[in-house]
Structure 1
Amino acid sequence: MKKLLILFIAITSLATAQKQDITLDEIWNGTFRTERMNSLNSMNGNFYSLLNFDRATRSSSVDKYSYATLEKVETIVNSKNLTNLSYFENYEFNNDETKLLLGVATEPIYRRSSLGIFYVYDIASKKLQLVDKDKIQEPTFSPDSKKVAYAKNNNIFIKNLETNEVVQITSNGKKNFIINGICDWVYEEEFSFVRAFDWSADSKNIAFLRFDETEVPEFSMQLTGKELYPTQQVFKYPKAGEKNAVVTLHLYNVASKNTSKINLGDYEYIPRIKWTKDANLLSVITLNRHQNNLNLYFVNASNNTAKIVLNETDEAYIDVHDNLTFLKDNSFIWTSEKDGFNHIYHYSEEGNLKNKITNGNWEVTNFYGINEKSKTVYYQSVEDGSINRTIYSIKLNGKNKQRLTNTSGTNSASFSKNLNYFINTFSDVNTPTVYTLHNSKGTQLKEVLNNTKLLEKLEQYNLSQKEFFTIKTENGEFNAWMLKPSSFDTNKKYPLFMTQYSGPGSQSVSNTWNGANDYWFQHLAQQGYIIVCVDGRGTGFKGADFKKSTYLNLVKHETIDQIDAAKELAKRSYIDANEIGIWGWSFGGHMSTNCLLKGNDVFKMAIAVAPVTSWRFYDTIYTERFMRTPQENPAGYDDNSPINYANKLKGKFLLVHGSGDDNVHVQNTMRLTNALIEANKPFDHAIYPDRTHGIYRGKNTRLHLYNKMTTFIRENLGSGNKY
């Protein structure tokens, strides 16, 4: 019996020893890719459509599926059957789903914007109609399907699909001066939209924004390229405290071809426009420059008058959202964190509060829609804990709340247009993404897709279990997770490597499946490092007070929390207090830099990728939302800028940036570099030519970056030895 036991232990040990370590090549060549559903488009009735690509024939198709069965009902269009279009990259239906806009030759501009060639496809006749011979932006069907509005060269055009006539409705568009109907850089980046025009429901009017960038300072980036001489990219970028584009609202009447400018009083920003259920009534949101005074206007297209129906103020700032939803009677749904937590409200058309629909010390994280017939509202929230997401329904009167997804973790719903069905996307720390079909009562009808093959593959690897916990410092109790080496021994001491982002309203500690960086952290754990992530003050989903506690002092309190968390962790017997490192990207790169400098007695090394190094260099909308202007709050900007205390550097520092970063400009890294040189502080440096903020374009770019960072960690944390 003893021999059998010894043999069993030996076999078990051998099996464990034979498990593989994760390599960096595997992380970036797709070995651990999670299978996902194509992004689906909900159609009229109980149907959805998918854009499918046939690699064998190099053709595209739009296919229609039933929510009830998940079976394909028909192929709406296949590029194999089109004479002038061998494939297409995107599509959009008109209202009655008799026509499609098909896009090809897409050319990215910034994060969300792109140019392309577009065709209208008539489903009945199977005919293609070219919208414009040139590349255009944001083509959009009129609600009556007779016209398409689009932007080109900073102007707006309307094509009549019946006559092929094209009407240019603006003519003053000019690059780096005037933009009509398309957002400028800072609106696209920070207010998260591109198309700044909208058809009225009766197709009689187009509302649009005009951006006058004339006085906005220009920013230029040198692009190395592949030619003999480099080129320059020049665009308008308003840095904190500088002039924004002057944005105005206009209404164009299709019949009279007249354009009217709408008076909205005093404001700095127009972050949203949207027609209500009344074809004559346009909703418009304005914000002051501090972004703490929001007005919701209704504009009457008959007389071009505007009235305020809702005003919201905050001592800090108000986040803009896309949850404004109009009911048939033109009453509307609105979400707000005015009571300290984000909740759903119902207002009358006149702006009078009818009901607060959700209530509690938790956050609504997504509003999915309302079934007016059953008076049922569908939403996602953190009622199951701030690191989880759960789907709920509730009646419009705030009663009869029902939990629609039962498993704790991250649930995200994609509802049918009529809200009869939803496809739930679920994952948690142990479960890669699973897609399931549910009816509106939450009953699971069918599993659509799972990732059991990935789990089987991962059985071959030495993986560590991510452990969730909370860490308490004198400034609060924070969500955190930890990865220990799979061979963890409580009698040993291990180097600690901290990861974080820490930006306002963000979340890095969540009960969800691995992203690419999680596999990198597993790789590092295999090398003998303990990895920890802490969401300190300023992060999201724990109420407005927690999120807005960093107001006017970005990265000050966040830095304190990471330093204090490192000190608390260092008290644990298995963590080597002399071997602590930290890294971050973008906001997180600012944080890791600050932690190394201000916590130079705690952190031995840090990596900063694409970091902000002074908020004076970042854009108006984001920065001033949290800091006000540099003229009003100079100490908030300068006291927390590592440029101003580069002489504090003691540990090892790797500074990385893409030279083509239009978001966080490489200027940030260059100015910190100069400060470190002037302080005679040694550090490591890497510039990725022409790469944008994500540093991913080009063969092996990400692999090269992560090889560099991994080598830096091994050489400077834990003496490079596997523990």
Structure 2
Amino acid sequence: MKFTKLFCSILLFVSVVSIAQQKTFTLNEIWGGAFRTEGFQSLHSMKNGTQYSVLENDPISGATNIQVYDYETGEKAKTLVTSSSIDGLASFQGYTFSKDENRILLASELEQIYRRSSRGIYHIYDVPSNGVFKVHDKKIQSPLLSPDGNKIAYVLDNNIYVLNFATGQEIQLTDDGKKNEIINGITDWVYEEEFSFVRAFDWSADSNKIAFLRFDEREVPEFSMDVYGKDLYQKQDVFKYPKAGEKNSKVSLFVADIGAMALDEVKLGDYKDFYIPRIKWSANPDILSVQVMNRHQNNLDLIFVDAKTKAPKVVLNEKDEAYIDVTDNLTFLDDNSFIWTSEKDGFNHIYHYAATGELINQVTKGPWEVTQYYGYDTKNKKVFYQSVENGNINRDVYSIGLDGADKKRLSAKEGSNDAEFSADFSVYISYFSNATTPYEYSLNNGKTGKVIRELKNNNALTEKLKQYDVRPKEFSTIEINGETLNMWMIKPKDFDSSKKYPLFMYQYSGPGSQMVRNSWNRANDYWYMMLAQQGYIVACVDGRGTGLKGAKFKKATQNDLGNLEVQDQIAAAKQLGALDYIDASRIGIWGWSYGGFMSSNCLFKAPDTFKMAIAVAPVTSWRFYDTIYTERYLMTPQENPKGYDDNSPINFVDGLKGKFLLVHGSADDNVHVQNTMQLVEALVQANKDFDWAIYPDKNHGIYGGNTRLHLYNKMTHFIKNNL
């Protein structure tokens, strides 16, 4: 057995042991927010390059304020907007500037729809005049100011509207929108969830045209959920949800010319059963970029559409044996050349293409992944990005010339470094944390990375945690099935290698994910420390199929989800169980969503390795999940039935020997409670004993009020009683 140390974990708190320093973590504290970190809310770099704005709430008056601070001094320059001076607006939850920053869109009364979508009441604040007006009396979706700041487009009842501030005229661009039939300008459920965007329209650079997508979902099968509430009769939420192999929405592209009052459909070519995961106007107001993917998602065309002739031209094509990840990194430079990211050399890197689609050069290269693209400094011809060059559990900030020369690491500390650059890239706000350091925020020089001054820290949290028996993560690697896998482990205090400890494993394991990361604690990490305080060793291993180790490693699970990943978790459990200090008869595993799919499979397929498992909101058969996600990795059930059925927990309930806790929210619009109900029925018919819980009207996150506290109390008791 071979373990390689990646990061020698050091205790955040020193030293002298006293009773006061040995407090144990409690679930009430963890889920009551006792260990939350300080940060910035809605940070925006001002156009002048010398200031930034943030959203702050006045704890006394309850008013919401947009405050402007100087980069150079750190002092507050002014209060730009306060809700206390706006009639009928007690507070607001978000804000967006127009391009010239003369108008601000204020969002209030936001009502969540699905994971990323919401509707709300919006006001426009005019900075020069201090004037305010409401965009609409009804709650609208996805409003977007035009580049010149004189118009706003938004969606109401599945139709697109444009309001001209100068004339007061409101134009309705579409009139065929209807729930569960036609959607204009916003995405359907599956696009929102799997392509990670909601607003499906964009303004041209000259503010004269709007391109938008239309979704015809009439042939998409419906899914319904009972919403119980508190009334005598429950209600039903019915929405279109295409499960793997079923029909998707028919998507089409339109361009509206506001001045000419013209609306034209754009025919993109001879595509059948395709997706349009992104549209974006280029720097040229007459050139619209459109990304088109086939249903298998392994062929992507970047198309430029001439807005005058509506003629499409494919300027770039990407192919992959497995799948292509869609990103928001497409950036047009002043000459309409563009930045693009791709995995075509085996790792995610930055490329520079001419306006015609010819490759100018590959900007970044190496056996490591670019994890974020921050932007391009036109003046100095510098690209700014984040990558895992310094070890794939870390993140660092870099600059590099557009020609690929003069690369510089700007971040200095080992851990997770992120950046918010000023408009001119001269400075940036650095976000840093690692496993032993809570978030630190500083102003840094954009050329050298040197810290100019500290902006905010979490020293108060650091001091508070000195009272607790903090259990640090120990990072290492483990050799499993011919691969070197990243791992962390949390051990009990006064760990004694001559003793035997039960092992509780956590994982997610989904394609491209990463759970072993050198960053500050999330709520679950305090729970793991609490379990360690009670005598458990907690460990996490990122197996094959997880991310940031190259395309080959990530895509190893293609067409066979839940096979190699499960093999890796079982092998890791066995290898850890062979250690002198692990009790191999007391190994448990848990996970949420994809992790619940995994933990169920591990318990059912390796009953002699795992004593217990917890599965929260699990997929139990990929036949029940949506088209875009599932078919990206498995193709359709008609094409690959073996890939669907050979690894679905629902088909392996006969293997259950240990203790099993199954949890789901009844209003989970993402992984439907159908998954759990079908698994329950299979377990019952196999006469298997298990525990389960359904949280009424809770979605995939299972939260609200005391819900999370109740859930983690239940899971903690289950672990203590069965491991």
For normalisation by structure 1, the TM-score amounts to: 0.96
The match for 2:601 is 594
Alpha-carbon offset, residue 13 of structure 1: 8.9
The match for 1:293 is 299
Residues 601 and 652, structure 2, Cα contact 8 Å, conserved in 1: no
The 2-side partners of 1:507 and 1:634 are apart by 28
Residues 147 and 160, structure 1, Cα contact 8 Å, conserved in 2: yes
Structure 2 unmatched runs, 5+: 1-14
The 1-side partners of 2:433 and 2:62 are apart by 32
Alpha-carbon offset, residue 92 of structure 1: 1.2
The match for 1:145 is 149
The 1-side partners of 2:604 and 2:482 are apart by 20
Q: Which moved more, 1:664-673 or 1:72-81?
A: 72-81
Residues 21 and 469, structure 2, Cα contact 8 Å, conserved in 1: no
Q: Which has the higher contact order (CA 8 A, sep 6+)?
A: 2
Residues 143 and 155, structure 2, Cα contact 8 Å, conserved in 1: yes
> What SS class does the counterpart of residue 18 from structure 2 fall into?
helix
The match for 1:175 is 179
Query: Which residue identity does 1:423 align to in structure 2?
Result: I
Q: Which moved more, 1:131-140 or 1:353-362?
A: 131-140
The 2-side partners of 1:211 and 1:53 are apart by 39
Structure 1 unmatched runs, 5+: 1-11, 718-723
Alpha-carbon offset, residue 129 of structure 1: 1.6
The match for 1:255 is 259
The 1-side partners of 2:171 and 2:37 are apart by 46
Residue 22, structure 1, aligned to residue 29, structure 2:
no
Residues 538 and 547, structure 1, Cα contact 8 Å, conserved in 2: yes
Residue 505, structure 1, aligned to residue 509, structure 2:
no
Q: Any residues of structure 2 matched to 1:625-664 within 5 Å, and which?
A: 625-664=632-671
Residues 42 and 416, structure 1, Cα contact 8 Å, conserved in 2: yes
**Cα distance change of structure 1 residues 301 and 703 upon mapping to structure 2, 3 Å threshold:** same
The match for 2:428 is 422
The match for 1:116 is 120
The match for 1:400 is 406
The match for 1:6 is none
The 2-side partners of 1:31 and 1:89 are apart by 23
Residues 228 and 696, structure 2, Cα contact 8 Å, conserved in 1: yes
The 2-side partners of 1:466 and 1:140 are apart by 43
Aligned counterpart for 1:413 among listed residues 415, 419, 422: 419
The 2-side partners of 1:451 and 1:165 are apart by 49
**Deviation digits for residues 617-671 of structure 1, max 9, x if unmatched?**
1111111111100000000000101111111100000000000100000000000
**Deviation digits for residues 226-258 of structure 1, max 9, x if unmatched?**
101000000000110000000101000112211
The match for 1:64 is 68
Alpha-carbon offset, residue 67 of structure 1: 2.1
Residue 356, structure 1, aligned to residue 362, structure 2:
yes
Residues 245 and 638, structure 2, Cα contact 8 Å, conserved in 1: yes
Residues 335 and 344, structure 1, Cα contact 8 Å, conserved in 2: yes
The 2-side partners of 1:668 and 1:562 are apart by 22
**Deviation digits for residues 117-145 of structure 1, max 9, x if unmatched?**
11111112221122111110111111222
The 2-side partners of 1:554 and 1:448 are apart by 44
Q: Any residues of structure 2 matched to 1:375-390 within 5 Å, and which?
A: 375-390=381-396
Alpha-carbon offset, residue 421 of structure 1: 1.2
The match for 1:275 is 281
Residue 672, structure 1, aligned to residue 679, structure 2:
yes
The match for 1:9 is none
Alpha-carbon offset, residue 335 of structure 1: 0.4
The 2-side partners of 1:475 and 1:220 are apart by 45
Residue 40, structure 1, aligned to residue 43, structure 2:
yes
Alpha-carbon offset, residue 359 of structure 1: 0.4
> What SS class does the counterpart of residue 497 from structure 1 fall into?
strand
Residues 40 and 54, structure 2, Cα contact 8 Å, conserved in 1: no
The match for 2:445 is 439
**Deviation digits for residues 512-550 of structure 1, max 9, x if unmatched?**
111000000000001100001000000000000000000
The 1-side partners of 2:139 and 2:469 are apart by 50
Query: Which residue identity does 1:288 align to in structure 2?
Result: N
The match for 2:528 is 521
The 1-side partners of 2:370 and 2:385 are apart by 7
The 1-side partners of 2:16 and 2:722 are apart by 32
The match for 2:698 is 691
Alpha-carbon offset, residue 367 of structure 1: 0.5
> What SS class does the counterpart of residue 713 from structure 1 fall into?
helix
**Deviation digits for residues 472-512 of structure 1, max 9, x if unmatched?**
12341100000110121111100000000000000000001
Q: Which moved more, 1:652-661 or 1:94-103?
A: 94-103
Alpha-carbon offset, residue 357 of structure 1: 0.6
The 1-side partners of 2:19 and 2:489 are apart by 22
The match for 1:583 is 590
Alpha-carbon offset, residue 702 of structure 1: 0.6
The 1-side partners of 2:42 and 2:87 are apart by 27
Query: Which residue identity does 1:709 align to in structure 2?
Result: M
> What SS class does the counterpart of residue 384 from structure 1 fall into?
coil
Query: Which residue identity does 1:272 align to in structure 2?
Result: R
**Deviation digits for residues 353-373 of structure 1, max 9, x if unmatched?**
001010000000001011111
Q: Which moved more, 1:142-151 or 1:244-253?
A: 142-151
Residues 695 and 701, structure 1, Cα contact 8 Å, conserved in 2: yes
The 2-side partners of 1:664 and 1:491 are apart by 43
Residues 423 and 436, structure 1, Cα contact 8 Å, conserved in 2: yes
The 2-side partners of 1:17 and 1:207 are apart by 62
Runs of 4+ in 1 over 3 A off after TM superposition: none
The match for 1:333 is 339
Alpha-carbon offset, residue 35 of structure 1: 1.5
> What SS class does the counterpart of residue 604 from structure 2 fall into?
helix
Q: Which moved more, 1:276-285 or 1:97-106?
A: 97-106
Query: Which residue identity does 2:300 align to in structure 1?
Result: L
The 1-side partners of 2:21 and 2:149 are apart by 63
The 2-side partners of 1:482 and 1:514 are apart by 14
Q: Any residues of structure 2 matched to 1:183-582 within 5 Å, and which?
A: 183-265=187-269, 266-267=271-272, 268-441=274-447, 442-582=449-589
The match for 1:8 is none
The match for 1:102 is 106
> What SS class does the counterpart of residue 683 from structure 2 fall into?
helix
Q: Percent identity?
A: 60
**Deviation digits for residues 25-79 of structure 1, max 9, x if unmatched?**
1111111111122230122022211111113112112122222222221111112
Residues 586 and 612, structure 1, Cα contact 8 Å, conserved in 2: yes
**Deviation digits for residues 581-639 of structure 1, max 9, x if unmatched?**
00000000000000001111100000000000011111111111111000000000001
- Equivalent residues, number: 705
> What SS class does the counterpart of residue 408 from structure 1 fall into?
coil
For normalisation by structure 2, the TM-score amounts to: 0.96
The 2-side partners of 1:484 and 1:169 are apart by 61
The match for 1:623 is 630
**Deviation digits for residues 310-340 of structure 1, max 9, x if unmatched?**
0000000000001100111100000001000
Alpha-carbon offset, residue 163 of structure 1: 2.2
Residues 475 and 561, structure 1, Cα contact 8 Å, conserved in 2: no
The 2-side partners of 1:103 and 1:333 are apart by 31
The 2-side partners of 1:120 and 1:34 are apart by 32
**Deviation digits for residues 524-578 of structure 1, max 9, x if unmatched?**
0011000010000000000000000000011111000000000110110000010
The 1-side partners of 2:610 and 2:104 are apart by 56
Alpha-carbon offset, residue 16 of structure 1: 5.7
Query: Which residue identity does 2:108 align to in structure 1?
Result: V
> What SS class does the counterpart of residue 132 from structure 1 fall into?
coil
Alpha-carbon offset, residue 87 of structure 1: 2.1
Query: Which residue identity does 2:186 align to in structure 1?
Result: I
The match for 1:81 is 85
Alpha-carbon offset, residue 463 of structure 1: 1.9
Question: Over aligned residues, Cα RMSD in angstroms?
Answer: 1.1
The 1-side partners of 2:73 and 2:307 are apart by 44
Alpha-carbon offset, residue 210 of structure 1: 0.1
